[in-house]
Amino acid sequence: MPISEISKEAVESAYQRLTGEAESGGYHLNPDVAFTKDLIRGLLANEARYGYWACPCRLASGTKDDDLDIICPCDYRDPDLTEHGSCYCALYVSGPISRGEREAQAIPERRPPASERKKMKAKGSQGHFEGGETSLPYPVWRCRVCGYLCAREEPPEQCPICKAKKERFERFM
Ligand code: SF4
């Protein structure tokens, strides 16, 4: 679906939902509402195009399995927030930026190149943690987006902290 066909109502509804989820999870959307809604329009267009919220600032492959790390919120959001005060697109920003005490700036791309991602995938890791054998009664699952850990048979349907979906969890131990 072309980006121009995304309705204002759909953007507004997603904006309200994301704002609520971000604030309840300790995150902040960019206070420039027009800019933020443009990014959300891009996310909705990508959902219509690919079936998932591929990052609006990156080139998606169209194969979900290869794009898991850039489904919004991407695996790189939190380290970028910590290091630079915003995610790569500046949809999510730090407290000082959200309060207007600092301005968001262009930041370097943290996503590894495709060749490196392929090697990581072959090793069974997206590059954050290597799994290991354990004698714990339940496997431990880690949310690759925010680092939330839980011990249970299966990862939760949705991360209770950052709202990332089940597929974004990796087996940690
Ligand atoms: S959190 Fe990641 S995927 Fe979402 S808009 Fe920011 S950079 Fe793009």
pLDDT in tens, 14-28: 999 999 999 988 899
DSSP, res 38: H
Task: Find out whether the beta carbon of 148 lies less than 6 Å from any atom of ligand 1.
Answer: no
Give me the half-sphere count of Cα atoms (radius 13 Å) on the Cβ side of residue 145: 22
- For residue 39, give the amino acid letter: L
| Cβ proximity of 111 and 70 under 8 Å | yes
Q: Which residues contact 105 (CB under 8 A, 6 or more apart)?
A: 84, 85, 86
Give the pLDDT mean for 32-49: 97
- For position 167, what pLDDT does the model report? 92
- For residue 119, give the amino acid letter: K
> Rounded to 5, what percent of the chain is helix, strand, coil?
40, 10, 50
The residue nearest atom 8 of ligand 1, judged by CA position, is 55
- For position 128, what pLDDT does the model report? 46
* DSSP β-bridge partners for residue 54: 71
Q: pLDDT category, 1, cuts 50, 70, 90?
A: low
Radius of gyration of the chain measured on its C-alpha atoms: 17
If you measure from the C-alpha of residue 29 to the centroid of ligand 1, how many angstroms do you get, rounded to a whole number?
11
Task: Find out whether the beta carbon of 54 lies less than 6 Å from any atom of ligand 1.
Answer: no
